[in-house]
Structure 1
Amino acid sequence: MACPGISTDDYLNLIAQPAYLKKRITDILQSRIPTSTLQLQLSQIQTDNEADAKAALAEINGGKGFQDVARAKSTDTATKDKGGDMGFIAKGQQSAEFDTAVFDANPQKGQTIGPFKDDAGWHLVLVVDRQDNKPLTGDQLSSLKSKAFDNWLSALKKKETASGLGRDRDGGRGWGNGEDDCPTRSLLLL
């Protein structure tokens, strides 16, 4: 027996194989992270609600400097005192909603994006600089690697829910009951 009170087969099926699969998937995903990529130097104004974000945008459109408005209005304590400066950010370092709003817009230097919402609140983002093939720092690479599996799993769940596989036809496990519904099919795409 591999573990007291559990058979070797159960141990392999319930603990060892899933742990091995998670590690293998994580290794594959991490190996696909580039060492250089598009990075944007961003400043942000984060607010608790849409009305405050729109009011901040109106001040900027009225001629106030983005950094001045960020210092006065932003609720993000990490960037507020720096005029909203976030430094260079690569896609995948922020929330999926943030990435979609900012990176999918093909932003250019000087462009203001937003307001848009994610779990942290409402954001206005100023693209201070854009570097299309900037090497990732060690911290950025570590951050992206640590998020690789969770981002992949989240995307997989979203895809399978959208295709109907996430319907509760199987006692709440979240996967369909047919052979074609097997979530491990998605693993073959790696």
Structure 2
Amino acid sequence: MAADDPRPLLGEPLSLDLLNTRWRLTAETQDLLTDVAGLAIWLRANDLHELCPADEPTLAAVRQARTALTAAVAHPAAPGRDARAAVNAVLSHGRTRRTLTADGPAEEAVTDSAAWLPGWLAVDDYLRLLRLDPTRIRGCANDSCLLHFFDTSQNRRRRWCSMALCGNRAKAARHYARGRAAG
């Protein structure tokens, strides 16, 4: 984890990492994207800081992308009309340009402006995850947790954003409840 990145879960695919800029470990929801400084942290964490500026237009575009992804992950296998429209609105700001280079085929993301690049890349990454397997896009099983992950476990049974965060809390709560029921 980067020293200045306060988020509890890092290393997820770009689309889910964008969703995970909002989290809750206590009763209070935290949001990395409240200002340009938080955006700069997220851009650096995803090696996007040299491709686009950390400024207000980029922050607005990234927030719009996060809102679209939030709606889409509510039902990843079959997003509703509004969620599809929100995702497509972000995607309308860019495209993938394919070229043939001396090294072979290449792809490059091209957007209306540099401000749209990180949000567009995140939403495009979501489409990639859907093509891989929409059932592996999961929200943490802890009802009070907002974090998402792509389940890469062999048996596809991962339930928690992190065993250390939510998994252990659930185990402790079950143990406490059993103790109270027995006593």
Same fold (TM over 0.5): no
- TM-score, normalisation: structure 1: 0.23
Structure possessing the higher radius of gyration over alpha carbons: 1
Q: Indicate the structure with greater strand content.
A: 1
- TM-score, normalisation: structure 2: 0.23
